Amino acid sequence: MLKTEYSLLLESFKFANGIELKNRVVMAPMTNFSSNEDGTVSRPEVEYYIRRSKGVGMVITACVYVSRGGKGFPGEFGADHDGLIPSLRGLAEAIKGEGAKAVLQIFHGGRQCPPAQLPDGQTVSASDVPSELPGGGQGPVPRALTDEEITGIIADFGEATRRAIEAGFDGVEIHGANGYLLQQFFSPHSNRREDRWGGDLQKRLAFPLAVLRSVKDAVKQHAQGEFLVGYRFSPEEPETPGITMAETFALIDALTGEGLDYLHASLMELWSLPRRGTEDSRPRIEQIVERAGGKVPVIGVGSLYTAADALKSLDSGISLVALGRPLLIEPDWVQKVAEGHAEEIKTELDPSAQAELVIPDPLWNALIHTPGWLPVKQ
């Protein structure tokens, strides 16, 4: 390996359970809208992952729904029944074949699911509180889940983990971020329950922790070798009432207390500052790493387009750097850094380069027609 100022990014990294990554760069989970209608992974999707799995140490896939009532996107692939294991296996083999570890992100969309994607057209959540939309207005009113349905979904997360193990993945990441079902139970905005699944902070933690236990039990029961369990969370919410930094710290304490392999902080901008719930004015990511207290590694993400951005991100104390949008624009990001050509990394999407970038049509159309999602070359 060429010794450059960026060599720190290319150092191998070992998790406490012994799983080793060839470097500290991770492909962040990104929805691509390109799976088949039956929940299987499509060929263009597999090619898209192959194109991005050569350089990075680990790939975290787009989220898969663990229950059919939790499908959050058109063209999302599933892990809700055993018939999907061969499809999942094909994806795991494709990623691992390029030298990266493969982690399946498991999820339930809750009230964020488009009703058209659901068998009965009815979104569900912790309570019947609609989401507040960024441009104003509200999402559809969800139906509050029953106790029996909640325990069923917790079991579904365990079953999806078993399928990931049988399909040959190296781990799962529980998606507790971006306003989806786990976050809906933790948030005082969306969870107004007064039973064992809601009320005070401890009761709002009950569902995320039960999901983590269900996943860990499945790993204990079914994994032959080492298997990663990570958890992705969003620090804070803009809504009032909403999750504050103080509550985020309580979540970190609870998750690390249960034991898991890593935490993944979901941020649009890695260095963003806290809104409320802490007197500390440092970037959220520094406070998150400090709170994790060296008990688990933290993955950081958020607009790290250049090698210099990614290198500087390690100053925050994170162990691994996740790249999402940068790998859409530049699939050879890691290779360029490794070969000493970091200055050649592209940081704007070339509108004429779809074939070369191996981006499936549904994702390409979304990228091109959603202003502000990616920097686009004019």
Instruction: Kindly report, residue by residue over 249-301, the tens digit of the pLDDT.
Output: 999 999 999 999 999 999 999 999 999 999 999 999 999 999 999 999 999 99
**What phi, psi does 349 have (nearest 5°)?**
-70, 130
Please name the residues in contact with 92: beta carbons below 8 A apart, sequence gap of 6 or more.
102, 104, 164, 167, 168, 169
Q: Which tokens go with 43?
A: 């060929």
| Per-state percent for the chain, helix, strand, coil, to nearest 5 | 40, 15, 45
Q: What is the phi/psi pair of residue 321, to 5°? A: -105, 120
Choose which CATH entry (3.20.20.140, 3.30.1360.80, 3.20.20.70, 2.30.40.10) describes domain 7-369: 3.20.20.70
DSSP symbol at 219: H
Average the pLDDT over each of 2-16, 179-193, 201-215, 221-235 and give the range with the smallest value: 2-16
Query: Cβ atoms within 10 A of the Cβ of 276, count?
Result: 11
The answer, yes or no, to whether residue 102 has pLDDT greater than 90, is yes
pLDDT at 2 over 90: no
Helices 85-97, 147-166: crossing angle, 10 deg rounding: 50
Q: Read off φ and ψ for residue 218, nearest 5 degrees.
A: -65, -40
Q: Where are the domains of the chain?
A: 7-369
Q: Is 372 left (phi over 0), alpha (psi -120 to 50) or beta?
A: left
Strands 58-65 and 101-107: parallel
Q: Over 90: is that where the pLDDT of 120 sits?
A: yes
Question: Distance from CA of residue 343 to its chain's centroid?
Answer: 28
User: Any catalytic annotation for residue 48?
Assistant: no
Which candidate in 48, 65, 180, 305 is catalytic?
A: 180
Burial class (CB in 10 A: 0-12, 13-18, 19+), 372: exposed
Fill in the amino acid letter for 297: P
Q: Does pLDDT of 4 surpass 90?
A: no
Q: What is the pTM of this model?
A: 0.98
Rounded average pLDDT over 169-176: 99
Count of helices and strands (H, E) across the chain: 13, 12
Give the pLDDT band of residue 1 (cuts 50, 70, 90). Answer: low
Mean pLDDT of 28-54: 98
> What is the arithmetic mean of pLDDT over 59-72?
98
pLDDT > 90 fraction of the chain, expressed in percent and rounded = 98
**Average pLDDT value for the chain:** 97
pLDDT single digits (tens) 192-219 = 999 999 999 999 999 999 999 999 999 9
